[in-house]
Structure 1
Amino acid sequence: MTDHGSPLFAALRADCRPDWEAYTRHRFVSALGDGSLPRSCYLHYLRQDYLFLIHFARAWSLAAAKADRIGDIRRAAATVHGLVDDEMKLHVETCAAEGIDRETLLATEEGSATLAYTRFVIDAGFSGDLLDLLAALMPCSLGYGEIGAALARDHAETTPYADWIATYGSEGYQSLCRDAAAFFESVAARRIGPDFRDSPRWPDLVATFRTACRLEAYFWEAGLAIGNTRAAA
């Protein structure tokens, strides 16, 4: 585990440990690593995650709109660029190789897990301030970094999901995680000070972070359930 240089993130992860581990150590993740994940589950996940990333980019764009410093606007904009121009390539290229073109990806119906998670994050941004929004965003951004690094370290490159592991375990993605964590840390320092656990906002930040972790695990679970159902049909 790494805190990506953010004591704030480390504290939230510690206070939400059961939900964090249910997400980052989910059986979907284990199956990605050892290659046992059914292809139908993976493709269902990629199609839903493509839609998720569109909304995630919207949420990071909202972070730029809520930011009051040029450096923060630049950080949020860089994340949007990374999502739209880099991360989503994995989804487009993998699905294209399976005969699923970009138009079909965009026409995919959002599943309930996708709807629940993306709307939760967007609502956190519209109903709260920048810090509330970042607390909802960090479990995805930093959790994928933790998962990618662990799988890249512990699993062979021969797994059929090596491209996914290479994307999230890469130094490029880990650098994005460090930048996002620094952004989170700096915003919190200005909004609630260095003694974040003493802030009256701490319980709400923990609740937001925990809910995002739970929705991440739900997202994995939906991929397993629907993918397996389609494989059996």
Structure 2
Amino acid sequence: MSGPLSVYQALKAGAADSWDGYVAHPFVRQLASGALPEACFRHYLGQDYLFLLHYSRAWALAVVKSQEIADLRQAAATVDLLLNHELALHVKYCEGWGLSEADLVRLPEADANRLYTRFVMDAGLSGDLLDLLVALIPCSLGYAEIGRRLADDPATRLDGNPYRDWIELYAGREFQEGAALCSQQLERVAEARGLSGNFVANPRWPHLLKLFETACRLEIGFWDMGLSAT
């Protein structure tokens, strides 16, 4: 018999249509098969670089919003990981596709990118740490789930797939461990703010679910943006 749902599981269940539309998007399916046009992937990569800059700022806001030392350390460690490690790996990966960092910083920001990143910042500025984390996790935990799904799915083509490195990056131990820490932080912060047991009955739940579902829809818009490059 399974135990009670985590906050993360309850959010996914409450926003099932948007979540499934995000993690099983045609962009993701085409990555798995290797059929995604290169122009779509290059466009996505460039916008993802710009996204990571704003995503780092949002995690820096989590430092400001933190009250407990564990949350301060976790948020600060995530900012360091994003800016000093993941961003460098992203630039190196883009270089393999003919995109230098100088090219990336000159890119105009797509509307889908701007909508998503500003939404996350607004969620954090107008709410508390829990609001911010709920808006942030569809990215970090969603990519971890996508990576695991694709790596474990026998239908995913790895041999000869030009996107194999991308799949293995998000399925890899380092990214999966980082996502697990984010998940643990979400549960810890939610419990400290009275979310336990019957989440749906908590007066904060409708707002938190709306934040999560909106972020999922904006993730869908980000994939749509990638496909629009054809």
Alignment TM class, shorter chain as reference: over 0.9
Q: Work out the CA distance in 2 between the residues paired with 1:151 and 1:47.
A: 22
RMSD of aligned residue pairs (Cα, Å): 1.4
1:115 maps to 114
Q: Deviation of residue 92 (structure 1)?
A: 1.1
Q: Work out the CA distance in 2 between the residues paired with 1:162 and 1:88.
A: 19
| Farther-moved stretch of structure 1 (154-163 vs 12-21) | 154-163
Q: Work out the CA distance in 2 between the residues paired with 1:137 and 1:6.
A: 20
1:27 maps to 26
Q: How does 1:20-99 map to 2 (within 5 A)?
A: 20-99=19-98
What letter corresponds to residue 145 of structure 1 in structure 2? A
Q: Does the 8 Å CA contact 1:90/1:164 hold for their aligned counterparts?
A: no
What letter corresponds to residue 185 of structure 1 in structure 2? E
What letter corresponds to residue 57 of structure 1 in structure 2? S
4+ runs deviating over 4 angstroms: none
Q: Deviation of residue 214 (structure 1)?
A: 0.1
1:161 maps to 163
1:101 maps to 100
What letter corresponds to residue 9 of structure 1 in structure 2? Y
2:175 maps to 173
Q: Work out the CA distance in 1 between the residues paired with 2:119 and 2:106.
A: 22
- Structure 2: 5+ residue runs without aligned partners? none
Q: Deviation of residue 210 (structure 1)?
A: 0.2
1:130 maps to 129
Bigger fraction of residues in helix? 1
Q: Does the 8 Å CA contact 1:53/1:88 hold for their aligned counterparts?
A: yes
Aligned residues between the structures: 223
2:188 maps to 186
Q: Does the 8 Å CA contact 1:6/1:185 hold for their aligned counterparts?
A: no
Q: Work out the CA distance in 1 between the residues paired with 2:150 and 2:107.
A: 28
TM-score (norm 2): 0.93
Q: Does 1:215 align with 2:218?
A: yes
Q: Work out the CA distance in 1 between the residues paired with 2:107 and 2:183.
A: 32
Q: Deviation of residue 90 (structure 1)?
A: 4.0
TM-score (norm 1): 0.92
Q: Deviation of residue 99 (structure 1)?
A: 2.9
Q: Does the 8 Å CA contact 1:51/1:106 hold for their aligned counterparts?
A: yes
What letter corresponds to residue 104 of structure 2 in structure 1? L
- Structure 1: 5+ residue runs without aligned partners? 229-233
